[in-house]
Amino acid sequence: MKTFNLYKLLVILLFLASFQLYAEEELSIDAAIEQALEQDLLIKSHLQKSQAFDEYSVAVDTWADPKIKLGVMSLPVDSMELDQEPMTQMILGYQQMLPRGDMTKYESASLKAKARGEIAQLDLRKRQVIRQVSNVWLNVYLHEQSEKIIQKNRRLFRQQLNVSQSLYASGRNQQQDVLQAELELSLLDDQLQKVTSKINESRAILSRWIGPEKSTYMLKVIEGQFSQSPGGDVKKLINSLAAYPLLQKYDASEMLARENLEMAKQKYKPQWGFEVTYGSRSGDNMDGSERSDFVSTMVNFDLPVFTNKKQDRELSARKMQLQASKYEKQDIYLQVVSQLEEAFIKWQKLNERVNLYDRQVLRQAKQNARAALNGYQSGVVSFFTLTRARSAELKAELQRLNLLVEQAMVAVDIHYLTGDK
């Protein structure tokens, strides 16, 4: 008795272990997205670029490196003695150039704007990965579910062929009915081959995003996955477009153009610098006293006076670039709003069609197919009518599946624009 209980326990443990292994080999759409985001190289590239610009922004917001002078001045060439002539000096000098106006401040800000642009590119890439992986996952789901529907209907057509053969054997119908049933089965086999090819193609694309191992996992559908709404009315969705990464990128471009304009203004200001030189003298004066050392100080600056074809033109160009960036941002915003409104309307129409199929079309197609089969068995319905009814049922099931997946893909496009999940 004890041995029997241990045997049952072992069987249960093996079952649970195999079930766990099976469960681990399921792939939800969120898991596929997470894997793709983790290994996407462009995301890592944009992150590194943004960090590089942040580092540059710190580097430029400092003074230029000073210059040190070391040497000998007024050394007599006849004796090369340091104490022969009173003007001979050992020179130590320090020269420092100061930034032109607030140039370093605006240079640093311009690099921060570039960093912000890379962050926007990073966010945009993430949304692109989410959208593309979601669509690939949905394509795999579409083709695999289509295969199941066709397989189910193939079994029904096989039953239909068996009925035709029985009726033909009893002399109640013609051989053409049997041939027609065999033809329908062959056509379904052709459909299955096409769907299998599409499954393999979609799985291969999925493999490029998440790796070959996980791309073979069975798809896992989360409850309510295909019944989610876009997340509010169209006005609410439009308000969320401010965070759309492409608009954020143009915000950064506008910021960069603004900082470039400020840098152009700084070029009207002189650049100042100063120099301190210490000269050490050797030897004695004629009265026997030690020669004094010398200290020299100088201030230097450039003077921007010829601005007509340099600073003025650059300032004008920077103003035009700033205005152009504003126009580009406005144009992108109008495009995105249009895309969102179009996608929202399309989602609503697809939702209505899916509901229509759930309420009426599928039920009517199944009832029609059952009635046709009963009528054919009773001899009151032709084989052509039965075949047409079966084909209509298959077409309705496949069409409902296509509508459901297309609706989910449109929802993915809406989430790509709004950033909601």
CATH, domain range 21-63+98-269+304-418:
1.20.1600.10
The one-letter amino acid at 216: T
Q: Where are the domains of the chain?
A: 21-63+98-269+304-418
> Percent of the chain having pLDDT more than 70?
91
Mean pLDDT (whole number) for 279-308: 88
Identify the residue with better confidence: 160 or 277.
277
Pairing type for strands 272-280 and 294-301 reads antiparallel
The terminus-to-terminus CA distance of the chain in angstroms comes to 55
Residue 257: alpha-carbon gap to chain centroid: 25
Q: What is the pLDDT of residues 127-186, one digit of tens each?
A: 999 999 999 999 999 999 999 999 988 887 777 777 777 766 666 566 777 777 788 888
Burial class (CB in 10 A: 0-12, 13-18, 19+), 107: buried
Mean pLDDT (whole number) for 312-320: 94
Whole-model pTM over 0.75:
yes
On average, the pLDDT of the chain sits at 88
76 close to 88: Cβ distance less than 8 angstroms: yes
Of the candidates 103, 34, 20, the one whose C-alpha atom is nearest the C-alpha of residue 421 is 34
